[in-house]
Each structure stands twice: as structure tokens, then as C-alpha cells.
Chain A
Amino acid sequence: MKADGSFPLLLPAIAIYLGLFFLPLTWLLLESFRLYTPGGIGAAAGAPLTLANYAELLTPAFARFFLETMQISLLASLTGVLLAFPLAYWITRKLSARWRAIAVGFFVTLMFLSVLVRTYALELTFGAAGPLRPFLLALGISPNSRDYIAILVGAGLLHYIVPMATLTLLGTIQNVDPRLVDAAEALGAPAWKAHLTITLPLSMRGVLAAFLFAFTFSISAFIIPMILGKGRVLFISNLIYNRFSEIADYPSGAAISIVLFAVALAIVYAMSRFVAKQWTP
């Protein structure tokens, strides 16, 4: 590393990360190995170390919670990015500067709208007592079925993912030189092929970033599955909340948090490696 005197400028950020990220995370890790005595609030001071909090996660039921969280998050993130890409392309390439500003403003406004408000709006409209209930029943869809609830949770996630991914992709698509597509088309490539072979590969790192933002947001979502999941579709974050806030079993909550953190890190790493290998210019 070249010593250019800029290091002191990093110190505040490093201090904040050490104090607010690594320190609590270390505490969480230690707590996850503490023995919990039922009835207490967290582990008692000096509680012995144990692997029991991790061992109790090795059950089919916990794996099912985990898979359900991953499945809904993955599907919502993929769908969100798929919807966001053409939107971002349209805003970047097709709109005038004035309308582009309006469109960007619209998506930024959507980001500011409270997750709670959006979630309750979905619940009121598409929930079991919403105005669309007769329509859903006519289509043979039971608003109380587990699959429908899972889709509703996914829709709740999409509400946030689409504007976030669209805004993330704007810069990416802006940076793809449009003359490359023009050149491909001038040489006889159909538009769809030109986009698939030029725009998409050149945007892949941005697409990955948008996907990872969406995915990390989704797997850690708490309010959306709590309200739309009706206590039947639960995300890992809901289990963590129950452990910490309702039954005060901090060690178990900490163990689930650490596992979720490790899995999320592994997925991010694997995805990044995959994209880097496949689409390195």
C-alpha cells in the first residue's frame, strides 16, 4: 500500500465499523456458544460454552424455514431484477431528459415510502379480507392457502426490490456505449440478439450488484413476512426476532443469526465469483 497520508481520513470509518459492526458481531458470536437456562433473559453471566445452540438447528424443520426464506427471497430478487432491467433501459435510453428526471424521482419517492405502508396496502388489497377476495376465489385461488400467502410475501418484497434494482441499474446501462448495439444491428444482428450479446453482458456486474442488494434485503426482511406471512410463512429473521425479543433466548437467536450471516456471505461470494468468471470483459 502506498503511504500517501490519506490513511487518517479512513480512521473515523474504521472506528465506526469496529465499534458498530465487528464488536457487536463478536458479542453475537460469543453469545451463540453460551448455554441458555430457560426463564432467564439471555445467557447468565459466566454461562458455560456449548454447541447445543447450533446442534438444535440441525432439524428438518429449521432447514425448511431456511429453504423457504431462500426460495422466496431468490425468486423475488430474480423477478425484481428481471422487471427492473427493461425499466432501467427504457428510462436511460428512451426517455427525454425531463421525463427521465421525473421517472427517477418517481422511483426515489417509492424508496422513501415506508415498507410498513406498502405492506399494509398489499394486505388490505390482496389479503383474505381484501376487496379482491371474490376475484381470487373465482379464479380458484384461496387467499388463505399457504402458497398464496408465500406469493403475497414475495410481492411485498418486490415492492421494494423493483425501485431499488431500477435505480441501481440506471448507471450501469448509462455506461454501456449505445453505439455498440447500433453497430451490431448495422451489421445485421436482430435487436434482441444485439442486446443479449452486448447490452446484457456489459451490464452483468451492475445486474449482479442489483441482485445482491435485492437478495440481502430479502433474506433479512422482517416486517414483510411478519405482516403478509400471517404467522404461517415465516422468514429466518422472524425466528431470530422471536428468540431475542419474545422468549429472550439470546444464545439460540445468536446462533441462527450467525448461520444466516454465514450463508448470506457464502451466497454473495459464490455469485460474485460466478459472475466474475463468466463475464470478465
Chain B
Amino acid sequence: MEQLTRRQALATAGAAVLGGTLGSIRPARAATEITAVEWGGDVVNAMKQIEAKQDKVKVNWVLHQGGSGAILPKIKASWPRAEYDYVAGWEGSFNGMVKEDWLVPVTVETVPNLADIPQKIIVKNAKGEWVAIPRAVGGIYVAYRKDICPVEVKSLDDLFDPRLKGKICWPGPTQAMMLPLVALSLHAGGNEHNMDPGFALMKKLAQSGNIGRVGVTDTDFSTSLTSGETAAGFYSEPQLTMVAKSFPVARLTKQAGVPTFLYQSGFAVFKNRPNLQATLEFANFCISPEMSTLYGEVAGEAPLNVKAKTPDSLKHLAFTPEEMDKYVYVPDFKEVLAQQDAWSKRWENEIAPLL
């Protein structure tokens, strides 16, 4: 074995001390760690890229398992001890959190970039306070793969075409707030307050044998469409983002007689967390014009910040006021959310046996 000389021992000790000293030098302000729940895929990729553009907050990412409502029971089980600083959600999940009074009210003072977000869209609690921070808008609409779909879909009636047997992927009763069923109801002369025509038409569609898959997770939709198992259906924006990069997808967002629904995605910031200020600052950074643009490019949702640039790939979600009136249907979300339980059970009773 080689002997260690006194000179070598001193050099080693010196290096160790120097290394230890240098190693203990930290930046002037250590990043605050927060825990956030996000959707997977492109959404979390976008958020990670945004996180990398700042150094004040380090995010411990947790992903939604299933729909964004699936996390609510877990939060309720541990409340008032909140485990997450913010949870990404949309109108559907925000509503449940607002009812439970879990969320921190936000203002332009605490989140200055909210000044550039259309106020009409911001979710409010019973006192009229803003309780969620919107970041982008996505759509729920009919789409199909042009290269494999045997029918050029131009109206909801085309979904009943026998050539589409087994080729439709339809959202399950826990997806998209059942807005596709509202679309059928509108088509048949009803609306969210009168869903009987919608359920009647849905029964016809189920009986037609055209529904090949009932999507219950985002992956179901994109995998089914990518693999060619199904070729058409009702989708929400992120389910199509990746598919559209590889295949020609026709999105019927501006087709008369085929309603398009818009939803917002954003941040629900929780009470009872030690790093509230850092979380609000991070959310504010995320909805800045530059980061909103970045989010839109990567996540495939149109930014809500009026100073942000909407990517060309999302032009189908940019509507003029006239187009908005003509193609976009804004349902009474209070009614839609209040009826989720009843509609789900009705689906199980009336639709599921026919699939």
C-alpha cells in the first residue's frame, strides 16, 4: 500500500477544508420550495420550462391522477392541513374547492398580472372575491383524423353515419363536465337545463355501435386517436396537441351547428400553507405575457393574458366577437356543475348498458 506523506496529508486536508467552505456558500436567497399539482404531458412540460426561467421558487411537481377532480377527496381527507401550495384546475374542480372554502382570495395587489386577464372569466366565491388565477383557455369540440376517418364530419348528424362504426371515442361521464352531452342536447333542441333531448340522442348514438371507446383519461383519447383505434370524437385541447403534431387533425371549432365549449385552466392557491407569498409570486410570474406565450406554445392552450401572443397552432381557439357568438356556446356552468352527479348516474342507467 502506498504511504501518505505529511505533505500529501496537509494538501488533502487543505483541499477538503476549501471544498467544504466553497460547498457551503449558497446563493444570497435560497429558492422557496412549493408543491404543485399539474396535469401531465405538455402541460407539466410547459410549467417546468417556466419554472426554469426563474429562481425564486423550486417546485415539487405532483401530477393529477385521472381528472382534476380526483385530487379533491385527498385534499379533503387531510384538510385543514393542506399538502399542496397550488392545484391546477378548471371551472369544474375550482367549484368544489370554492364550496369547501379552501382557496385564498386573490386581487390585483397580490397577483398584479391579473390586471391583464379578462375579469369576466375569473372564478369568484359567494362573496364575489376572485379565488382562482386563470392562465389559459382550452376548447372542448368535435375533431377527427382526416387521414383515417371514413366520413368528413361536418355536423353532429355525421357522427351517426354507419361508416363510423366503432370509430368514435366519446368522453365518459366524468370527462369534460359532460359538455359533449350538452352539445347533443343543443343539437336536439334542448340545453343544459333540459337534457332529455341530449340523453335521447346519446342513446341513439350508443345504440348505433359507432362508439368504439369511452375515454376516461386524457391518454385514452390521444392513444386511441394515434393508434387509429378510433378516428373521431369530442376532445379537449391537450388531448389533441400531440396527435396533431403527427397526424392531420380537423378541429371543428368554427363549424356552424357544432358547438364549441371553452374552459379556463389556472391555479387554485391554497390556504394554510407556509409559502403562500412565494406561491402567489410564482403564479403571477406564470401569467406574465412572456410566460403565458411560452405556456401556450408548449401546453397547447391559448393564453388568457391579453398581452401574450397566441401561437399559430392555436388559431382555431382565437375567436372574433362575431365568431364567439356564432360558434362558442357558454353554458350555465352553475347548472352544469350542479348536475354532474345526476347526469353521471343517468349515464350509468341509460347510456352505459347500450355501449
Residues on the B chain within 8 Å of A248, using CB: 69, 72-73, 96
From B67, B95, B172, B216, contact of A39 by CB (8 A) = B95
Q: Which of A58-100 contact B (CB under 8 A)?
A: 59, 61-62, 64-65
B18 at the A/B interface (Cβ < 8 Å)? no
| Interface size in chain B (residues, C-beta < 8 A) | 41
CA of A232 to CA of B211 in the docked complex: distance in angstroms? 9
Interface pair A127/B73, CB less than 8 Å apart: no
Interface pair B73/A250, CB less than 8 Å apart: yes
Judged by DSSP, the binding face of B is helix
Binds B, one of A7-15, A156-164, A239-247, A268-276: A239-247
CA of A231 to CA of B229 in the docked complex: distance in angstroms? 14
Interface 0/1 of A11-41, CB less than 8 Å to B? 0000000000000000000000000101111
Interface pair B96/A39, CB less than 8 Å apart: yes
Residues on the A chain within 8 Å of B355, using CB: 146, 231-232
Given contacts A40-B99, A232-B214, contact A129 B227 (CB under 8 A): yes
Interface 0/1 of A192-224, CB less than 8 Å to B? 000000000000000000000000000000000
Given contacts A128-B166, A245-B70, A248-B69, contact A61 B174 (CB under 8 A): no
Residues on the B chain within 8 Å of A39, using CB: 95-96, 99, 337-338, 340-341
Residues on the A chain within 8 Å of B228, using CB: 129
Q: Which of B49-66 contact A (CB under 8 A)?
A: 66
Judged by DSSP, the binding face of A is loop
CA of A142 to CA of B100 in the docked complex: distance in angstroms? 47
B325 CB, min distance to chain A CBs, angstroms: 29
CA of A38 to CA of B229 in the docked complex: distance in angstroms? 35
A115 CB, min distance to chain B CBs, angstroms: 16
Q: Which residue of A lies closest to B211 (CB)?
A: A232
Residues on the B chain within 8 Å of A226, using CB: 216
Interface pair A128/B212, CB less than 8 Å apart: yes
Residues on the B chain within 8 Å of A230, using CB: 212-214
B5 CB, min distance to chain A CBs, angstroms: 53
A154 at the A/B interface (Cβ < 8 Å)? no
B107 at the A/B interface (Cβ < 8 Å)? no
Residues on the A chain within 8 Å of B95, using CB: 39
Interface pair A144/B66, CB less than 8 Å apart: no
Residues on the B chain within 8 Å of A64, using CB: 353
Interface pair B345/A56, CB less than 8 Å apart: yes
CA of A232 to CA of B355 in the docked complex: distance in angstroms? 6
Residues on the A chain within 8 Å of B216, using CB: 226, 231
Interface pair B348/A246, CB less than 8 Å apart: no
Given contacts A144-B166, A146-B355, contact A61 B213 (CB under 8 A): no
Classify chain A: how many residues form its interface, as a range.
20 to 34
Interface pair B166/A142, CB less than 8 Å apart: yes
Interface pair B70/A246, CB less than 8 Å apart: yes
Given contacts A61-B350, A144-B212, contact A247 B340 (CB under 8 A): yes
Interface pair A38/B340, CB less than 8 Å apart: yes
Residues on the B chain within 8 Å of A232, using CB: 211, 213-214, 352, 355
Interface pair A231/B342, CB less than 8 Å apart: no
Residues on the A chain within 8 Å of B100, using CB: 40-41
CA of A51 to CA of B308 in the docked complex: distance in angstroms? 53
CA of A249 to CA of B95 in the docked complex: distance in angstroms? 14
Q: Which of B327-347 contact A (CB under 8 A)?
A: 337-342, 344-345
Interface pair B352/A234, CB less than 8 Å apart: yes
Residues on the B chain within 8 Å of A129, using CB: 224, 227-229
Q: Which residue of A lies closest to B215 (CB)?
A: A231
Residues on the B chain within 8 Å of A144, using CB: 165-166, 212
B210 CB, min distance to chain A CBs, angstroms: 10
CA of A242 to CA of B349 in the docked complex: distance in angstroms? 14
CA of A146 to CA of B352 in the docked complex: distance in angstroms? 11
B76 at the A/B interface (Cβ < 8 Å)? yes
B105 at the A/B interface (Cβ < 8 Å)? no
B173 at the A/B interface (Cβ < 8 Å)? yes
B220 at the A/B interface (Cβ < 8 Å)? yes
Residues on the A chain within 8 Å of B76, using CB: 41-42
Q: Which residue of B lies closest to A40 (CB)?
A: B99
**Shortest 7 CB-CB distances between A and B: which pairs?**
A231-B214, A246-B174, A144-B166, A129-B227, A61-B349, A245-B70, A129-B229
Q: A226-B216, A245-B67, A246-B344 are in contact. List 11 more A-B contacts (CB 8 A).
A: A38-B339, A39-B338, A65-B352, A230-B212, A232-B214, A245-B69, A246-B70, A247-B341, A249-B341, A250-B73, A252-B345
22 pairs across A/B with beta carbons < 8 Å? A39-B95, A39-B96, A39-B337, A40-B99, A40-B100, A61-B348, A128-B229, A129-B227, A142-B166, A144-B212, A226-B216, A230-B212, A230-B213, A231-B215, A231-B216, A232-B211, A232-B355, A242-B174, A245-B67, A245-B70, A246-B66, A247-B341
Residues of chain A having any CB pair with chain B under 8 Å: 36, 38-42, 56, 59, 61-62, 64-65, 127-129, 142, 144, 146, 226, 230-232, 234, 239, 242, 244-250, 252
